[in-house]
């Protein structure tokens, strides 16, 4: 088998992290299988709100230890944020439900209904895995398939954040309900921090693609994690186009040259890390045979296949034409991290602005970098980012000016302590989100949202606000809440972005169902980076494009009222000219054969 530095003498805890869509789940699963095949007892854990480990193995896992029967010695666990939050709430509310008045119980449940509770509940399960020897003693290795980078940074920083918060003062936390019981967790959090920083017990593997954007994200992650003590890191560059498949096809030549250039130009900090390169495979990474092949050199033989979608798919420009006809509104792009939401949001915003329409392009994604994508300015286009740090500062200043003005010195000190609670971020970001929604009355607001888990937490906060406003005003006053605007297709168009691969399509379909339960119906789907739409001549890429046809058919027949297909480009679509080209693409008819 191929020697891999990131698995050499692997310690007990191994974390895989990186920008969404780089293949963390596939590599984490393949690594867990390899260790188990070598005779180790392995627990594979997903802390990603949009986990798809179960889909990769073809089994239902969930928030319980589940043996993977096809791999002796391997078990898996998916930390479901909502399930963890429900169990956390019940531990707090259950003992008092029969004792307190119904109104008091309802008040406690309302305190525990927001995203802060979800974060704390998931965090507690995470620290248990790091510190509860009785629970995990049976496993030689615990492999963590972590969430996209922004969420991972938050998760890994929490032990220190909560320890500092508890050590330096309790104040009067705005999320007192969710924080119930944290005091007794102090020793566990301290132990978790020590485990994360100990290279003999923990290894951090940064996963990237051979692309400038994901390598830059890996560098940022490397710096941020080193700052909290996780200095012993490894780098895996995934999905490298094999040298022996390049040939004379212009698309493969361009991709190969672009990847080689990105790897050669990566930062000195990344070059100093132990690095492995994993080749792109001609199969989807679903099922045990595919997982076992991922960490081995070479591909399976390319068979002669013919597959045709048999229909013509609209380009991105067709969606933009329909959107532009409305004159204004909120356009929200959602989906799994790494599917290209930032690029699609930027391309749509540029296309609308160049039609002479006023556009505000913004993001709520902690890992998004719109400026890097645009690399220029366009008339009629304003760009912003909802930065949690900025919003917290603004919110804290407003609270101190209003509530703090009527307090004495001790009261103001307690209020400042209250505002240091990690839960303040939820309130601050929600207020910024609400401000942006109001702008859509007079212009187009194109919002590049955070990866799926973050987006759902944001919408949950919006829904809580919606219920509270309706409860307070009753039927005596007409009020339009942010959630009501999201539910109105005349005011908001939700576009789901995905890739023509099994897991991203399934995740987008699950997101669609979650949105529909909240009363939000997605307006359109975008299948991004389609090899089939690029019409390659390479046998290797044609084999991969044939795999796409079934996924595109699934979307058109079962999920999407509208669908746009965006082809894979020879180079990353960065800069105004490349984004403009995406917005002016033509109708394509898919026919994949090899």
Whole-prediction pTM: 0.74
Higher pLDDT, 530 or 367: 530
Catalytic pick from 17, 18, 20, 26? Answer: 26
Strands of 474-513, DSSP E? 492-499
Q: Is 48 a catalytic residue?
A: yes
Give me the percent of the chain exceeding a pLDDT of 90: 29
Q: Is the pLDDT of residue 151 over 70?
A: no
Contact status, residue 465 vs residue 482, Cβ threshold 8 Å: yes
Catalytic pick from 25, 122, 258, 421? Answer: 25
For residue 592, the model assigns a pLDDT of 43
Label residue 263 by pLDDT band (50, 70, 90): very high
Label residue 380 by pLDDT band (50, 70, 90): very high
Catalytic pick from 21, 177, 404, 463? Answer: 21
Q: Is 21 a catalytic residue?
A: yes
Distance CA 318, CA 495 (A): 13
Catalytic pick from 17, 20, 24, 462? Answer: 24
Cα 287 to Cα 55, 71, 241, 343, 363, distances in angstroms: 9, 11, 21, 30, 35
158 phi and psi, to 5 degrees?
-60, -40
Q: Which domains does the chain have, with CATH numbers?
A: 5-293 (3.40.50.300), 310-593 (3.40.50.300)
Q: Is 23 a catalytic residue?
A: yes
Catalytic pick from 23, 73, 114, 404? Answer: 23
Q: Is 25 a catalytic residue?
A: yes
Range of lowest pLDDT (168-172, 200-204, 442-446): 168-172
Label residue 73 by pLDDT band (50, 70, 90): very high
Catalytic pick from 19, 48, 329, 418? Answer: 48
Label residue 518 by pLDDT band (50, 70, 90): confident
Q: Is 244 a catalytic residue?
A: no
Structure tokens at 240: 């490298």
Give 91-137 pLDDT, tens digit per residue. Answer: 888 888 888 888 878 777 766 766 567 666 777 777 778 887 777 88
Q: What is the DSSP string of 457-478?
A: HHHHHHHHHHHHHHHHHTTSS-
Structure tokens at 450: 């955070």
């Amino acid at each position: 088998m191929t020697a891999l530095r990131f698995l050499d003498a692997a310690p007990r805890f191994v974390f895989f992290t990186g920008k969404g869509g780089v293949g963390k789940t596939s590599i984490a699963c393949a690594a867990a299988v390899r260790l188990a095949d070598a005779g180790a007892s392995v627990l594979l854990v997903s802390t990603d709100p949009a986990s798809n480990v179960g889909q990769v193995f073809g089994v239902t896992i969930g928030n319980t230890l589940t043996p993977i029967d096809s791999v002796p010695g391997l078990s898996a666990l998916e930390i479901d944020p909502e399930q963890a939050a429900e169990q956390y709430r019940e531990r707090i509310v259950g003992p008092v439900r029969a004792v307190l008045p119904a109104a008091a119980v309802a008040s406690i449940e309302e305190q525990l209904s927001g995203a802060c509770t979800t974060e704390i509940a998931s965090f507690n399960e995470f620290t248990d895995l790091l510190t509860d020897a009785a629970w995990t003693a049976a496993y030689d290795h615990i492999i963590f398939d972590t969430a996209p980078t922004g969420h991972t940074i938050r998760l890994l920083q929490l032990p220190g954040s909560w320890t500092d918060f508890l050590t330096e003062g309790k104040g009067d936390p705005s999320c007192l309900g969710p924080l119930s019981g944290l005091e007794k967790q102090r020793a566990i959090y301290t132990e978790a921090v020590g485990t994360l920083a100990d290279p003999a017990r923990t290894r951090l593997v940064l996963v990237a693609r051979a692309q400038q954007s994901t390598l830059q994200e890996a560098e940022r992650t490397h710096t941020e994690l080193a700052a909290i003590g996780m200095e012993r890191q490894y780098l895996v560059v995934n999905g490298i186009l094999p040298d022996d498949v390049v040939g004379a096809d212009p698309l493969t030549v361009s991709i190969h040259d672009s990847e080689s250039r990105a790897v050669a130009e990566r930062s000195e900090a990344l070059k100093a890390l132990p690095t492995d390169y994993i080749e792109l495979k001609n199969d989807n990474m679903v099922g045990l045979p595919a997982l076992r092949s991922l960490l081995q050199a070479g591909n399976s033989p390319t068979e002669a296949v013919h597959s045709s979608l048999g229909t013509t798919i609209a380009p991105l420009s067709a969606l933009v034409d329909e959107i532009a006809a409305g004159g204004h509104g909120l356009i929200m792009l959602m989906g799994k991290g790494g599917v290209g939401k930032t690029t699609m949001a930027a391309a749509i915003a540029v296309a609308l602005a160049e039609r002479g329409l006023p556009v505000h392009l913004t993001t709520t994604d902690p890992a998004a970098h719109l400026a890097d994508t645009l690399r220029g300015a366009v008339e009629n286009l304003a760009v912003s980012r909802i930065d949690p740090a900025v919003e917290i500062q603004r919110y804290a200043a407003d609270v101190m000016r209003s509530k703090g003005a009527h307090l004495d010195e001790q009261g103001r000190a307690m209020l400042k302590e209250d505002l240091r609670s990690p839960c303040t971020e939820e309130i601050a970001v929600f207020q910024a989100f609400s401000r942006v929604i109001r702008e859509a009355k007079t212009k187009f607001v194109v919002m590049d949202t955070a990866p799926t888990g973050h987006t759902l937490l944001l919408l949950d906060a919006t829904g809580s606000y919606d219920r509270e406003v309706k409860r307070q005003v009753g039927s005596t006053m007409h009020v339009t809440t942010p959630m009501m605007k999201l539910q109105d297709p005349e005011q908001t168009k939700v576009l789901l972005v995905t890739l023509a691969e099994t897991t991203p399509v399934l995740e987008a379909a699950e997101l669609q169902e979650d949105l529909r339960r909240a009363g939000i119906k997605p307006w359109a789907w975008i299948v991004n980076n389609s090899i089939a739409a690029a019409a390659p001549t390479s046998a290797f890429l044609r084999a991969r494009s044939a795999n796409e046809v079934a996924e595109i058919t699934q979307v058109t027949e079962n999920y999407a009222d509208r669908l746009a297909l965006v082809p894979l480009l020879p180079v990353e679509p960065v800069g105004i000219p490349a984004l403009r080209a995406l917005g002016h693409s033509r109708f394509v008819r898919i026919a994949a054969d090899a």
